[in-house]
Amino acid sequence: MSLTKNKIMQSAIRLFSKKGYQSTSIQDIADDCSIAKGTIYKFFPSKEDLYIHILDERHQQMSQEIDHITQNPGLTPRNRFIAEIDYQIRNYMNYGSNDNMELAPFDSSKIRSYIDKFMRKLLAYYRDLLMRYYGSDVKDHAWDLAALFSGALREYNYLMFFGNKPLSYGELTVFIAEQMDSLVEGLKKSTSPSILSDSLMGDFVLDDQEEFSIAERKALLYEVLLSTIQEINVSNSRKSELREVLLLLKEEGESEKPRQFLLNALLNDLAKENELGTYVSQLNRLISTTLSHS
């Protein structure tokens, strides 16, 4: 990420936390960063866009952490299930417990639309998590289980944050997992139809919505890489070379028949610069996902 862009985001997070979203102006953020107000608008067209970008960074971090857990070969299925629940609890408390970031005005249609889209994806992720662990036995009631699971996480997090209840993360994680076990056993014996059927919840998992999300994330990463290249400590000729490599990577990735060997070579060249490594890794995963679906 561009160093200036990151500085703006960190300042915004700090001021939104201290003063609240409504009471923080773009000028406040510019003053805090010791930069001109116009510099912020080069990166973010509005305060809404800045806020959404901060949320998007957090959500991408969440996706990466989940990937690390699910792809860890050293975890048993049970330990993986426990680890994913534990992460959801800690992630909420880390980002929701001590700032006003989540209290942006809901009269903003752009912010409301973004948060609605994220909440839909989150519930779909919970369904996927439960299906992965419990298997096809819960398929008919998967959305109901996801709603109950989401409710349990939300209410316990609310009690820890707003109610100041000193609950143990570890004990809470195991407790929720055990209660989900009990719910699943009960549903196996139940003859009641599901409340949230697949047909009713179909709009939560539209394939084209997910593909749009991947394309959107790739576009964001190309933008971040380009802006970061401008600020890393290398010669101007190397910066020019890196920009050309990035352009070739984008063109090859979007071609009708991308050549894997060329994609790998271009990604490896970018990854030689330490400042780009994290973003190259993220982009590599997204490109691989796109190719596997093509």
Q: What is the mean pLDDT of the chain?
A: 84
- Picking from 277, 223, 270, 271, the residue whose alpha carbon sits closest to that of residue 245 is 270
Is the predicted pLDDT of residue 243 greater than 90, yes or no?
A: yes
Residue 22 has pLDDT above 90, yes or no: no
Across the range 226-246, mean pLDDT stands at 89
Per-residue pLDDT tens over the stretch 137-176: 788 898 999 999 999 999 998 898 888 899 999 999 999 9
Phi, psi of 3 (to 5 degrees): -65, -40
Per-residue confidence (pLDDT) for residue 39, from 0 to 100:
92
State whether 265 and 132 are in the same domain: no
* Percent of the chain surpassing pLDDT 90: 35
* DSSP track, 136-194: GGGGGGHHHHHHHHHHHHHHHHHHHHTS-----HHHHHHHHHHHHHHHHHHHHH--PPP
Question: How far apart (Å, rounded) are the C-alpha atoms in residues 74 and 11?
Answer: 38
Structural domain range at position 136: 48-204
Last residue of a domain, one of 178, 204, 230: 204
Q: How many Å apart are CA 111 and CA 52, to the nearest integer?
A: 7
pLDDT at 99 over 60: no
Q: How many structural domains are present in the chain?
A: 3
The pLDDT value given to residue 293 = 62
- Domain end, chosen from 169, 204, 239, is at 204
Please indicate, yes or no, whether residues 197 and 99 belong to a single structural domain of this protein: yes
Distance CA 250, CA 274 (A): 20
CATH at residue 32: 1.10.10.60
Q: How many CA atoms lie within 13 A of 254 on its CB side?
A: 11
Residue 221, token pair as written in the block: 């990463």
